[in-house]
């Protein structure tokens, strides 16, 4: 059982997986946020690699990625940032969320080795469906990195095939569309989650559009953990001036901590 799986099998009512865009608003803040999330006892952290053309993301994450890119963030620097976090004692399992092109340019083998050395535990590639991921899986297997597949409500007869490939966990997309806050969710999603759970050999996680404590509680009944991305990234984006202001930084971090605690409240 990998460390990601272990983290998702620990007894707990609510297991939270926050998503951060690495380098937004700046690398030092991302480090502080990683420490903060580790202290708050989240199950896993998803670290987003900023990309110029994030097809699967909505405007909030796209804008955060653009900010991070403006500050010169790239895949190598994200890995360096993860390594620094590990050296400063961050223990929570880390999953990289990256579009495939930066991985291709680094080379899958080089990436897998560097990611492992940086203390990354798994990788999610939103534009790499299972039919295309064999080369990445092979490279990652050599270095003990989980390749986490995504499954969508439109996957239909593909659900079993995808789930069977699950490593670490299977990422269930809550509804059609890109990442971003949604007002509500279809009732069908519960049945979809139960179906994935039935066929998956690893824990199941739900994400896309989950922003409020009541969503987290609701979905915790049908999945082993819940990802909160855009809502957190938006909060960080709104506090970015304060986060970069020495006198206001502590207060801004405290507000983010409060938001995470609220999400985790059982």
Partner 1 sequence: MKTELPLATQVDQNGRYGRFGGRFVPETLMYALNELETAFREAIADPAFHEELRTLLEEYSGRPTPLTYAQRLTEYVGGARLFLKREDLNHTGAHKINNTLGQALLAKRMGKKKLIAETGAGQHGVASATVAALLGMECKVFMGEEDVRRQQLNVFRMELLGAEVVPVRSGTRTLKDATSEAIRHWVTHVEDTFYMIGSVVGPHPYPEMVRTFQRVIGDEARSQFLYREHRLPDHVVACVGGGSNAIGMFAAFLADREVQLHGVEAAGHGLSTGQHAATLSQGKPGVLHGSFSYLLQDEHGQVIPAHSISAGLDYPGVGPEHAHLKETGRVRYTSVTDEEALDAVRLLCRTEGILPALESAHAVAEAVRLARTLPREQTVLICLSGRGDKDVETIRAEEAKRR
Residues written for the chain: 266
- Give the CA count within 13 Å in the CB-facing half-sphere of 142: 13
Instruction: Determine which one of 46, 121, 146, 224 is catalytic.
Output: 46
Q: Verify binding: residue 191, partner 1, rule CB under 8 A.
A: no
- Candidates 10, 177, 250, 251; binder of partner 1 (CB under 8 A) is 177
Q: x/- site string to partner 1, residues 146 to 165, per CB under 8 A?
A: ---xxxxxxxx-x---x---
Residue 227's nearest CA partner among 148, 167, 162, 166 is 148
The contact mask relative to partner 1 for 17-56 (x = CB under 8 A, - = no) is ----------------------------------xxx-xx
b or e along 215-254 (b: 16 or more beta carbons within 10 Å of the residue's beta carbon)?
bbebbbebbbbbbbbbbbbbbbbebbebbeeeeebeebbe
Say whether 57 is catalytic.
yes
Instruction: Determine whether 39 is an active site residue.
Output: no
**Residue 100 in the binding site for partner 1 (CB under 8 A):** yes
Q: How far is CA 102 from CA 6, 170, 195, 213, 245, in A?
A: 29, 22, 33, 34, 32
Tokens describing residue 200: 């998956």
Give the range of 32-40, 123-131, 189-197, 258-266 binding partner 1 by CB under 8 A: 123-131
186 binds partner 1 (CB under 8 A): no
Give the binding site for partner 1 (CB under 8 A).
Answer: 51-53, 55-56, 58-59, 62, 69, 74-76, 99-106, 126-129, 131-132, 149-156, 158, 162, 173, 176-178
């Amino acid at each position: 059982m990998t460390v990601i799986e272990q983290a998702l099998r620990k007894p707990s009512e609510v297991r939270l997986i926050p998503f951060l865009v690495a380098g937004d608003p700046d690398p030092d803040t991302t480090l502080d946020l990683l420490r903060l999330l580790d202290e708050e006892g989240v199950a896993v952290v998803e670290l987003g690699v900023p990309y110029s053309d994030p097809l699967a993301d909505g405007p909030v994450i796209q804008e955060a990625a653009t900010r991070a890119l403006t500050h010169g963030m790239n895949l190598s620097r994200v890995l360096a940032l993860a390594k620094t976090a590990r050296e400063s004692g961050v223990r929570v399992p880390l999953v990289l969320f990256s579009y495939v092109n930066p991985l291709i340019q680094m080379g899958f083998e080089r990436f897998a080795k560097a990611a492992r050395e940086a203390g990354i535990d798994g990788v999610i590639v939103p534009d790499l469906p299972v039919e295309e991921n064999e080369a990445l899986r092979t490279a990652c297997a050599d270095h003990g990195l989980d390749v986490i597949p995504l499954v969508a409500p439109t996957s239909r007869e593909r659900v079993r095939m995808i789930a069977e490939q699950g490593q670490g966990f299977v990422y269930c997309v809550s509804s059609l569309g890109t990442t971003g806050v949604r007002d509500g969710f279809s009732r069908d999603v519960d049945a979809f989650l139960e179906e994935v759970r039935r066929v998956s050999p690893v824990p199941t996680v739900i994400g896309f559009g989950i922003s409020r404590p009541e969503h987290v509680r609701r979905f915790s009944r049908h999945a082993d953990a819940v990802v909160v991305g855009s809502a957190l990234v938006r909060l960080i984006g709104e506090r970015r001036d304060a986060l970069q202001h020495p006198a206001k930084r502590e207060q801004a971090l405290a507000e983010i901590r409060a938001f995470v605690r609220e999400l985790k409240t059982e």
